[in-house]
């Protein structure tokens, strides 16, 4: 068993190290003005990231303000590289309206910088924020003199002719066909409902709980009507409302929300459908997060029963011999798992292996020892063809470690825990990394599962180095302030928060906040949640993204 170092003895995450090296001295306006031209060239024209600019300025000019000082100064100079989500979506609607009605292209000026409709659209796709009907402050527009050539925000900062500051309603073309599906609920369309959802989150953060509850319920009911009760976005809002109640210790209301979702899934899909099964697992995760382990186990038993009934087979005899009242005896867990093992052995495939891992997870969650042999068989098959099944090999090892943790059998299986790093490294060597492939993110998530199981088992050094490698790979693949990297770092923070507490989790959330501030504006939901976590010493965020 490893002796785990204290927080003070461990180095911070990679990105956090970058941030910590900055000087905290104050810089005079004269210092900033002396470097303004080179900063504009590096940050706005060459479009370098803020961290890259900081590094260049430190090395080349011995100029080392903190990241916050840079952000505050750039904000005072009105240098922005990404439009706020609501402004971007307003621009998109305005550009579309002018093109449809007047046949004109549009170029915008926002805070002294010019933006094309295409650039606004690129910013709008990165946010779930909704459009506003009032003309945003500091926003003007005109028809470009040469529609084929638009300067970028970094290359052009001229003011355009103001079009007036009056509030304007963005009107869409009237529908030409009869509506066969609902577009509005109580006079609100989905964009309006998303705005209500954002208001609910703001109200909750500000402590206006009664108002937040009403807004959450309005957003949920509207989505149930417009998107159906079991639509993914509807369900996410329902989970968010349940979490809102749980944080206030309102158990009855929390359960009512979850039970209503369950009824919706069973009515729509049936109790044995995979979507209902997944909802059950999501409920288990939520209940565990709320420290309701007994209730989580009760739900898990229902989920496990539904899974077994969905996959059990009748006896192998002719249908003619079966009466309509014939009752089939369900297979025992041992028999069921043995059949899965035999099926994979006869014809290994990705789908069969994924099915086996899914079955194993349900039994691991209840601490069923009989699942051990199935997991070992899955891992054995995957290791023999690690180039094809590297991710599944890690998933299998993660489930095996979780089982031993669940059974309090870490000491008895210490060799398995110690040997995990060798398997982990082998899978990383075999895996084919590709930036734009979702498989790369899936592989990182499987890697985190293994590291998390090691952390829970008491192997802090091994898990720490794994998490560091995961973060480093995410930065190299996606970039320091890419949303995928930020969520990877947040996920690691959540693992430490759950297993070791806030002090060990804090550096990861600080790193995520640093990246989020680089990627998004200060009003973004992710930024607000991370900043709130710093105050509350606890991160909690259920989002619609």
361: Cβ–Cβ under 8 A, 6 or more apart, which residues?
281, 399
For residue 153, give the nearest of 40, 37, 67, 54 by alpha carbon: 40
User: The tokens of 371 are what?
Assistant: 């699942």
Secondary structure of residue 366 in the 3-state scheme: coil
pLDDT confidence of residue 104: 75
* CA contacts within 13 A on the Cβ side of 350: 6
pLDDT confidence of residue 317: 44
pLDDT confidence of residue 18: 43
Among 104-108, 166-170, 410-414, 482-486, the range scoring the smallest mean pLDDT is 166-170
Mean per-residue pLDDT, 24-41: 80
Whether the per-residue pLDDT at 507 is higher than 90: the answer is yes
Angle between helices 502-519 and 525-536 (to 10 degrees): 150
**Cβ atoms of 85 and 127 closer than 8 Å:** yes
Q: Give the model confidence (pLDDT) of 99-110 as tens digits.
A: 766 677 788 777
Query: What Å distances lie between residue 82 and 153, 512, 520, 528, CA to CA?
Result: 9, 18, 7, 17
pLDDT band, residue 292 (cuts 50/70/90): confident
Q: Give the model confidence (pLDDT) of 248-265 as tens digits.
A: 999 999 999 999 999 999
Mean per-residue pLDDT, 266-291: 83
Query: What Å distances lie between residue 362 and 281, 367, 398, CA to CA?
Result: 9, 9, 13
Give the separation between CA 184 and CA 193, rounded to whole angstroms.
10
Give all domains of the chain, ordered by start, each with its CATH number: 27-165 (no CATH), 190-310 (1.25.40.10)
- Count the Cβ atoms, other than its own, within 10 Å of residue 181: 5
Mean per-residue pLDDT, 147-176: 37
Better-predicted residue by pLDDT, 344 or 360: 360
Whether the per-residue pLDDT at 199 is higher than 80: the answer is yes
Give the separation between CA 261 and CA 207, rounded to whole angstroms.
26
Better-predicted residue by pLDDT, 294 or 230: 230
Give the separation between CA 508 and CA 418, rounded to whole angstroms.
25
pLDDT confidence of residue 542: 47
Length of the chain: 545
pLDDT confidence of residue 403: 93
Describe the strand order of the beta sheet including 107-110 as a list of residue ranges: 113-116, 107-110, 139-142
pLDDT confidence of residue 383: 92
Among 3-17, 72-86, 187-201, 256-270, the range scoring the smallest mean pLDDT is 3-17
Listed ranges 124-128, 193-197, 299-303; the one with the highest mean pLDDT: 193-197
Secondary structure of residue 114 in the 3-state scheme: strand
Q: Give the model confidence (pLDDT) of 355-381 as tens digits.
A: 888 888 878 877 788 899 999 999 999
Give the separation between CA 491 and CA 7, rounded to whole angstroms.
18
Mean per-residue pLDDT, 439-465: 93
Better-predicted residue by pLDDT, 199 or 165: 199
Q: Look up tokens 């959450």; give the residue.
A: 216
For residue 85, give the nearest of 27, 25, 125, 144 by alpha carbon: 125
User: The tokens of 319 are what?
Assistant: 């249908």
pLDDT confidence of residue 296: 81
pLDDT band, residue 417 (cuts 50/70/90): very high
Q: Look up tokens 């290359």; give the residue.
A: 155
pLDDT confidence of residue 7: 44
pLDDT confidence of residue 134: 52
pLDDT confidence of residue 312: 55
Among 50-64, 168-182, 387-401, 530-544, the range scoring the smallest mean pLDDT is 168-182
Mean per-residue pLDDT, 507-517: 91
pLDDT confidence of residue 13: 57
């Amino acid at each position: 068993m490893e002796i785990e170092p204290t927080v003070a003895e461990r180095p911070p995450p990679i990105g956090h190290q970058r941030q910590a090296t900055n000087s905290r001295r104050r810089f005079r306006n004269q210092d900033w003005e002396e470097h303004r031209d080179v900063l504009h060239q590096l940050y706005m024209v060459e479009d370098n990231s803020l961290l890259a600019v900081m590094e260049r300025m430190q090395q080349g000019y011995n100029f080392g303000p903190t990241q916050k000082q840079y952000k505050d100064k750039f904000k005072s100079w009105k240098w922005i590289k990404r439009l706020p989500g609501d402004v971007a979506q307003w621009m998109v609607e305005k550009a579309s309206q002018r093109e449809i009605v007047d046949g004109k292209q549009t170029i915008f000026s926002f805070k002294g910088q010019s933006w094309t409709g295409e650039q606004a659209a690129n910013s709008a796709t990165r946010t779930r924020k909704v459009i506003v009907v009032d003309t945003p402050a500091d926003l003007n527009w005109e028809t470009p003199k040469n529609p084929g050539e638009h300067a970028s925000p970094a290359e052009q900062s001229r003011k355009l002719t103001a079009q007036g500051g009056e509030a304007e309603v963005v009107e869409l073309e009237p529908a030409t066909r009869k509506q066969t599906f609902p577009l509005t609920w109580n006079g609100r369309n989905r964009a309006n409902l998303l705005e209500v959802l954002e208001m609910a989150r703001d109200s909750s953060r500000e402590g206006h709980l009664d108002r937040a509850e009403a807004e959450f319920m309005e957003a949920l009911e509207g989505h149930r009507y417009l998107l159906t009760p079991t639509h993914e976005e509807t369900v996410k809002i329902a989970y968010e409302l349940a979490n809102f109640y749980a944080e206030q210790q309102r158990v009855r209301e929390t359960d009512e929300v979850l039970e209503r979702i369950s009824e919706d899934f069973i009515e729509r899909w049936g109790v044995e459908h995979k979507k209902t099964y997944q909802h059950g697992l999501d409920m288990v995760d939520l209940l565990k997060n709320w420290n309701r382990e007994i209730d989580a186990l009760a739900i898990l038993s229902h989920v496990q029963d539904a899974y077994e009934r969905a996959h059990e087979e009748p006896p192998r005899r002719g249908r003619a011999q079966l009466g309509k009242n014939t009752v089939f005896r369900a297979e025992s867990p041992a028999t069921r798992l043995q059949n899965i093992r035999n099926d994979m052995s006869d014809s290994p495939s990705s789908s069969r292996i994924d099915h086996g891992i899914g079955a194993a997870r349900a039994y691991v969650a209840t601490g069923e020892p009989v699942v051990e042999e199935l997991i070992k068989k899955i891992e054995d098959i995957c290791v023999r063809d690690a180039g094809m099944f590297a991710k599944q090999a890690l998933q299998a090892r993660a489930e095996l470690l979780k089982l031993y943790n669940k059974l309090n059998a870490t000491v008895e299986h210490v060799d398995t825990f110690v040997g995990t790093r060798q398997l982990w490294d082998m899978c990383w060597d075999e895996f084919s990394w590709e930036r734009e492939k979702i498989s790369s993110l899936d592989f990182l998530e499987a890697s985190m599962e293994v590291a998390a199981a090691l952390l829970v088992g008491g192997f802090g050094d091994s898990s720490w180095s794994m998490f560091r490698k995961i973060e480093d790979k995410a930065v190299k693949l996606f970039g320091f302030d890419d949303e995928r990297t930020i969520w990877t770092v947040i996920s690691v923070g959540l693992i430490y928060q759950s297993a070791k507490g806030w002090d060990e989790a804090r550096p990861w959330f600080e790193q995520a906040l640093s990246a989020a501030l680089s990627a998004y504006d200060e009003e973004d939901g992710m930024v607000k949640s991370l900043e709130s976590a710093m105050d509350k010493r606890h991160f909690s965020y259920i989002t619609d993204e």
